[in-house]
Chains A and B, each alone.
Chain A
Amino acid sequence: MTTNIRYKSRMMKSEDSEDKQYVGFATLPNQVHRKSVKKGFDFTLMVAGESGLGKSTLVNSLFLTDLYKDRKLLNAEERINQTVEITKHTVDIEEKGVKLKLTIVDTPGFGDAVNNNECWKPITDYVDQQFEQYFRDESGLNRKNILDNRVHCCLYFIPPFGHGLRPVDVEFMKALHEKVNIIPLISKADCLTPNEVKKLKGRVRDEIEHFGIKVYQFPECDSDEEEEFKQMDKELKECTPFAVIGSNTVVEARGQRVRGRLYPWGIVEVENQSHCDFVKLRNMLIRSHMHDLKDVTCDVHYENYRANCIQEMTSKLAQDNRTDSPLPILPLPTPDGETEKLIKMKDDELKRMQEMLEKMQQQMHEKDQ
């Protein structure tokens, strides 16, 4: 507010007519910017896929850090009894005064066993847990320092060796597409020729449509955006799923030191757009759509979860014969099969009764007035 007044007083000295229409809230974005820079941002990224597809290497390449320095790889025997784990690495990165608290959620063991039935369950449970925790915090008394651990984006790695999506890929994405923003990637794309990349991308896109999987869609460009931006956006959308290559090593190519992989037949440069889509992924993930990913998580996925949760709770409340409280009470432990059936049966009846109650309340309110 003070900035506005200051601005106004300055303008008064020069042109009198114009400044009557100029209020000055155009500086709001600057204020938001300054506050957020001080506060810092946070972003949670999940990487999922079979082991050996280059997930850790890609994460290191994206954020130019080495998050997996002391990782020990298990051999086949040790992995027999391994179940899918969820591991978190948090890193604080700062660039030009802007702080980012980056959390990478890894899923080692996914898809590695002989029997992979329900191997995505630990992952969906984790995502739900984060939502539940945020829900409790939001409904709690002290809301000043809510820790947002919700997963904002999930990079799913599709192996380039197959002919498209495998059954386990389809099941995983179907289990998670309504909870998390899924971005499918074709990993280790340096084993594919340009033709093969095109074919595989087309096939994956068709199969995603065929199975009704809702992957993260880039928001449409506003009509008043620059032409260049629109062109970039269009290219980006036609390129999905991105075919990426990651590298932890720096090699010498064309007289420069670049991140790449050295083969006897040539050098693959990670940041070369004609070699792979790594640059597009990085731009999209970090430089243009990071905030949108967070928004979609908050506005769509979290709200879905919250609506489902509240609905479950109100039906339980009605069963326990308690009155409506202004704040939703935290979810009770799930009842066994029989009571759940009863709850579902009486759900419709309760909804109707609630509607009637609302109507009566409105009528009473009107009468009072």
Chain B
Amino acid sequence: MQRFCKTHYSLMCNLCGFLQLILLFLNNNILYMQNRVEENMSEIVPPEVRPKPAVPAKPSHVALPSRSALLGYIGIDTIIEQMRKKTMKTGFDFNIMVVGQSGLGKSTLVNTLFKSQVSRRSTGWSRDEKIPKTVEIKSVSHVIEEGGVKMKLTVIDTPGFGDQINNENCWEPISKYINEQYEKFLKEEVNIARKKRIPDTRIHCCLYFISPTGHSLRQLDTEFMKHLSRVVNIIPIIAKSDTLTLDEKTEFKQRVRKELEACGIECYPQKEFDEDMEDKSDNDKIREAMPFAVVGSDKEYQANGKRILGRKTAWGVVEVENPNHCEFSLLRDFMIRSHLQDLKEVTHNIHYETYRAKRLNDNGGLHPISSGQDTQESNL
């Protein structure tokens, strides 16, 4: 009886804490909005300095509610189940962008990650497909379902990136696209009559494909990541890593990590957003293993009596899901099984808020009724 009470007590504490956080988050948001309007407009935040992330912080003037012991079971813990049911009904959106030179296996990897033919090129490239002269942005959406949970997955491809002779500023179309999505969301949010669920086309995750040269990052890679790591979550990946032996892989990864640090590039998961010690230790383990060296494949072969995804060469079969062969399973677990929601949250709470703050500052405040562009969207 005592033990039962204890575990229940701890559950209740957790829930109380959780509810607290929600309340504080809402509180903070209201305060934040008020501050923005009342603040002295001459104080312009320089673009490099990121305003403090809108992560719920405990303001000192709010007294912490005291924890009181419960006399019986109420049933607050069922809120988790209720939330789960709701999410399952509404489903969720996930937008992933793949960037890298042509031929690095981007489409194949996305197909392997989501175990279905979701990528644009899944039908196989035809002989007439030419390299586009400028970077194009092509997006394809699919709805995939697993265990009753529906996900609207959008894959945004960037053909033409890094393929020309002169690749200067080839990241600009990509940067423009990302900011356009933020702008779309902002406009919807600022509307008087808002939609119940704003369609989220913002990029939650950008997979950047590094060519497995075995030497170090190319200039194009560092330039791209420098320009975009503050705007979107970038996860660097070493593509086609079956061309590197184990030693070469470790050396290459070390060199890439050093270079990223030297250039001040922060990839997802960013160190500054670790919320507590547990997060930090988990994320540190992941940061040590990044960038993941992956191999993608959509063909199945027979090995050890099972059918596995892999690549069959004259000297053996490269198994995609074998952690001794490549780090695909690490990437998949990290991206989908543990950090999918976190990717969305960081995009919404941090990158989007940064964009929003910058926009509001630049315009001197964006009022719902302000410009003519907004009035056309004022009715549902």
Q: Which residues of A contact B (CB under 8 A)?
A: 50-53, 73-77, 79-80, 112-117, 119, 159-163, 166-168, 171, 188, 190-194, 203, 206, 261-269, 274-275
Contact = CB atoms under 8 A, between A and B. Distances in A.
Interface in B125-166: 125, 127, 129, 131, 163-166
Interface of B: 101-105, 125, 127, 129, 131, 163-168, 211-223, 239-240, 242-243, 245-246, 255, 258-259, 262-263, 311-319, 322, 324-325
B245 A166 contact: no
Nearest to B166: A115
A116 B240 CA distance: 24
The 10 A-B pairs at the shortest CB distance, nearest first, are namely A52-B213, A266-B316, A266-B315, A191-B243, A162-B103, A265-B316, A161-B103, A52-B215, A115-B166, A76-B217
Contacts of B104: 161
Nearest to A200: B103
A52 B214 contact: yes
Nearest to A189: B243
A191 B105 CA distance: 11
Contact of B314 (A77, A160, A275): A275
Nearest to A245: B243
A112 B239 contact: no
B240 to A, nearest CB: 5
Q: B interface, by DSSP: helix, strand, loop or mixed?
A: loop
Given A51-B215, A76-B219, A76-B263, A263 B242 contact: yes
A163 B128 CA distance: 11
A50 B215 CA distance: 11
Chain A interface mostly helix, strand, loop or mixed?
loop
B242 A167 contact: no
A172 to B, nearest CB: 10
Most central of A53, A191, A262, A269 by chain B CB within 10 Å:
A191
A193 B311 contact: yes
Contacts of A73: 215-216
Nearest to A268: B315
Given A116-B166, A265-B316, A265-B318, A162 B245 contact: no
Contacts of B221: 76
Nearest to A276: B314
B216 A76 contact: yes
Nearest to B262: A77
Nearest to A188: B243
Contacts of B131: 166-167
Given A112-B218, A114-B220, A264-B324, A53 B167 contact: no
28 contacts: A51-B213, A51-B215, A52-B211, A74-B216, A76-B216, A76-B219, A76-B263, A77-B263, A79-B219, A112-B218, A113-B219, A114-B167, A115-B167, A116-B166, A119-B165, A159-B103, A161-B103, A162-B101, A193-B311, A206-B127, A261-B245, A262-B245, A263-B242, A263-B318, A264-B324, A265-B317, A268-B315, A269-B315
